[in-house]
Amino acid sequence: METKREEEMTDERLTRIEDKLDKLSHAVVTLARMEERMITVFKRMDNIDDQQKAMWDRIVKLDQITASRGQKLQFFERIWWIVFTASIGACFVYMRTIG
């Protein structure tokens, strides 16, 4: 009688251990899935960071190009006004000498 009771307790105990192992294996699988998702998210974030750095580099380069072009345009605008003013002055001097 005692062996039967011990056997029932052992079977019940083994069933509880199996249930706990099943829950543990389910938890491990869930953790592995979460880890894969996190790895995917981190890879995407790295790609976004790389793209953002590339765009920032392009913006800096365009800013430098724009600044140099602005200086060139400013120089040519000054030359244009000098030539324009000189030609208007020459016209007035010419009209004065004719008239």
Condensed to tens digits (0 to 9), the pLDDT of residues 26-78 reads 999 999 999 999 999 999 999 999 999 999 999 999 999 988 888 888 999 99
- Distances in Å between the alpha carbon of 22 and those of 9, 36, 40? 20, 21, 27
User: Can you give the C-alpha Rg of the chain in angstroms?
Assistant: 42
b/e burial code for range 1-16 (CB count within 10 A of at least 16 → b): eeeeeeeeeeeeeeee
pTM (global) more than 0.75: no
H-helix segments, the chain: 2-98
